[in-house]
Amino acid sequence: MATNTNEAFAILKDAVTFEFAEDAYLKEIAKLMTKEECDDGHVFAKEGEVSAKWFILDEGTVLRYKGPVDDNHILDKLEGRGRVTALFHSLKEEHVSYSTVVASGHVKLWSVDAKAYRDLLASHGGFALQLAAHLARLLRHESKVSRALAQARGSSPDDDKGDSKTLRVLCYDTTEWVRSGFGPALMEFNKGLENLQIVMEYTEDRLNARSAAYATGYDAVCTFVNDTADSDVIRMLSMLGVKMIAQRAAGFDRIDTKAALTFGLTVARVPAYSPYAVAEHAMSLLMTLNRKITRASSRVHMSNFTLDSGLMGMDIHGKTVGVMGTGKIGGILCNIIKGFGANLICFDVFENDEVKQIGGKYVTKDELYEQSDVIFLMMPLLPSTHHTLNMDTLPKLKQGVLLVNTSRGGLVHTGALLEGLKTGRIGGVGMDVYENEADYFFQDWSAKQIEDPQLVSLLGNNNVIMTAHQAFFTKEAVDKIVSTTLENLRDYAKGMTGLEHPNSCLPKPKE
């Protein structure tokens, strides 16, 4: 063999992909190989385009992307001598690449013309049989792994009976109310389905890069507000065969929906359950904070029936109350506020006509900060609303303002909140959410030491009323969450996928 052919043969011997092959087969492939060197950013194969070549890496690193490279959704990284990419996509004529393959830094590799390789297989039946036998071994191995995982969780890949389809769902971040809510409801829901059964299993772990592997063998995952489905997790779920994320909440700021769209996952949420629950809880926090209910109740339980200035509140009637965010929940809150006889001012990029009709006045942010005796944060968490309350905002607030947040913890910079409480610029805060709540909320930390110093400071402050993300937690709301989540799973199973799903929260591609 010539020098280049010897080099090519040597790297084939190092490639795990060809460990099954006889030397005669490898020598014939070596004759088809061309040595290449490429700089950073060179594209070897493009997603959706016909695979004209396949490649064996010699030196350097290549990255495989799903979607536009600029979106940085990396499928995996290939590095090390003998790594092979695009081989199986090139076996069939006109087969398109699954991903875009790009050089990361300077790369040396070998390329093989896809047509020439197919011709080699066609003319040497023995080589084709070796490849087919190798693929069969891989298939048997994956089948055994899948079967073992299924048996470990008490089910089988062959559980489907007759013409009935089974949709297997893994529910993350499971607490008592999730099991008690979904269990009986799912049994009843399945009775009304034709040719479909939904099987839901549970884990108390939250979805993250470590726990994503639990979803092996499942068709969908069911997530909650503190589960993390970032780009890396989405990629892992996709590779495991998961095709849907059913978010049992309205908010989806911890789901990378752009990555989900790229990797072909359907994401559906519960757009509304009981907006009254959240609005009523927000007002409950205000009144508990304002009228010192927690402190007063504790004193009375200790047989202390005296009154002093530490228990004094203020009338909400006649005060100026600012509402930031007047969507469905914010609009309901505005109605409650008007019932107190307060002066209602609002801020939202989209003004709500119903709020205007009841006397709400829209003002600028700075005007709301300056005038409000009470401020409610009712906006979604977006890049534009992140840390709406921050160090720059503090000086603009009315001295002693009461703040209530039942929306998202990330709306408030915790350092700024603590500073405002310390100086008295903020007279008190009622909060159902906290920007670093993911490590603590929905878990019992009563026998453990809380390691977050800012959370410790808030919990020890008499001017802070905190609940653990329970504003939504009413019977009506939970019933709606359960029923809509099950309907979302049913609709997906019936073919309403991607942007066609009625409750999809995937971003629409730019035209």
Quick one: angle between helices 293-301 and 275-290, nearest 10?
60
- Beta-carbon contacts of 145 under 8 Å, excluding residues fewer than 6 positions away, are none
What is the spatial distance between Cα 251 and Cα 272, in angstroms, rounded to a whole number? Answer: 10
Query: Which of 235, 413, 469, 501 is the catalytic position?
Result: 469
Q: Is 447 exposed, middle or buried (0-12, 13-18, 19+ CB in 10 A)?
A: exposed
Q: Is residue 317 within 8 Å of residue 340, measured between CB atoms?
A: yes
Say how many C-beta atoms besides its own lie within 10 A of residue 449's C-beta: 6
Query: Which of 64, 408, 413, 501 is the catalytic position?
Result: 408
Q: Is residue 102 within 8 Å of residue 67, measured between CB atoms?
A: no
408 flagged as catalytic: yes
* 443 alpha carbon, distance to own chain's centre: 20
Say how many C-beta atoms besides its own lie within 10 A of residue 248's C-beta: 25
Q: If you ran DSSP here, which 8-state letter would residue 212 be given?
A: G
Instruction: Provide the strand spans (E) within 307-433.
Output: 320-324, 343-347, 361-362, 374-377, 401-405, 426-431
Query: Which of 47, 248, 269, 437 is the catalytic position?
Result: 437
What is the spatial distance between Cα 161 and Cα 330, in angstroms, rounded to a whole number? Answer: 48
Q: Is residue 315 within 8 Å of residue 343, measured between CB atoms?
A: no
Residue with tokens 């009506």: 476
What is the spatial distance between Cα 414 and Cα 409, in angstroms, rounded to a whole number? Answer: 9
Record the tokens describing residue 506, joined without a space: 């995937």
- Sheet harboring 320-324: ordered strands across? 361-362, 343-347, 320-324, 374-377, 401-405, 426-431, 464-466
What is the spatial distance between Cα 249 and Cα 437, in angstroms, rounded to a whole number? Answer: 16
Cα angle 215, 219, 225 (rounded to 5 degrees) comes to 60
Amino acid at 146: S
210 flagged as catalytic: no
So which residues are the catalytic ones? 408, 437, 469
